[in-house]
Structure 1
């Protein structure tokens, strides 16, 4: 797969759609713990194999103070529960269930676990963030947005 080049410049062609995705994510993240916000975006991006978003969210998480150890082990978070709070684990379980719908619908136990750690409004926002990041992943994977050059604070999304 090496040497892939960008197929299409979606932000230039449909800037209104791009802005709508930006607004969705900005609205959804209000009031969410910034650590949870970055962890779930990174985990969904890992599952979706979105190199651009993995690069972006790992760098943003580091810039926000996230530890290297937690970032390196995020893909195996269930194996190292002592590194993540119960709330983070509930958010990560929900992330995986929402992202991998081909395994079936979001199980009641996963949803109830998240609902135990997030208030109703916060849970609704978390679900909004998961919808947004899965949209971003599909946007970047489909267009083959180039990965590796993102710098934290550079921009909200590929422009």
Structure 2
């Protein structure tokens, strides 16, 4: 996986590559907990309250306010992503007939 936008924010290509299988990576445990929350919030196969084991894992690294802020940020980003997918929004540099910008990441 490569992401120019993530690299522009300061992440290295090496870190971005770890995101594909973050649980098996050497990323910090706090990042893994946050990424697990991201996966859970953006998933379609579940609903309802965050499982207690996930909340416990998050609590090892973040206080309650930080967990809520993280959840709000992730919900906003996930909603934005779903909206651009639903309306077929493409980057300005996208040309008709070109594979979509995220096709390479999907493998």
Q: Is the 8 A contact 1:77 1:89 kept in 2?
A: yes
What is the SS of the residue equivalent to 1:103?
A: coil
* Larger RCO (CA under 8 A, 6+ residues apart): 1
Q: Is the 8 A contact 1:97 1:107 kept in 2?
A: no
Q: Is the 8 A contact 1:87 1:117 kept in 2?
A: yes
Which residue of 1 is the match for residue 70 of structure 2?
Answer: 126
Which residue of 1 is the match for residue 17 of structure 2?
Answer: 72
CA-based RMSD of the aligned residues comes to 2.4
Unaligned runs of 5+ in 1: 1-45, 47-54, 151-159
Structure 2 CA distance, aligned partners of 1:59 and 1:124?
A: 28
Which residue of 2 is the match for residue 87 of structure 1?
Answer: 30
Is 1:103 the equivalent of 2:46?
yes
Unaligned runs of 5+ in 2: 95-107
What is the SS of the residue equivalent to 1:73?
A: helix
| Alignment counterpart, residue 116 of structure 1, candidates 50, 56, 60 | 60
Q: CA deviation at 1:69?
A: 1.3
Of 93-102 and 134-143, deviating more is 93-102
Which residue of 1 is the match for residue 87 of structure 2?
Answer: 143
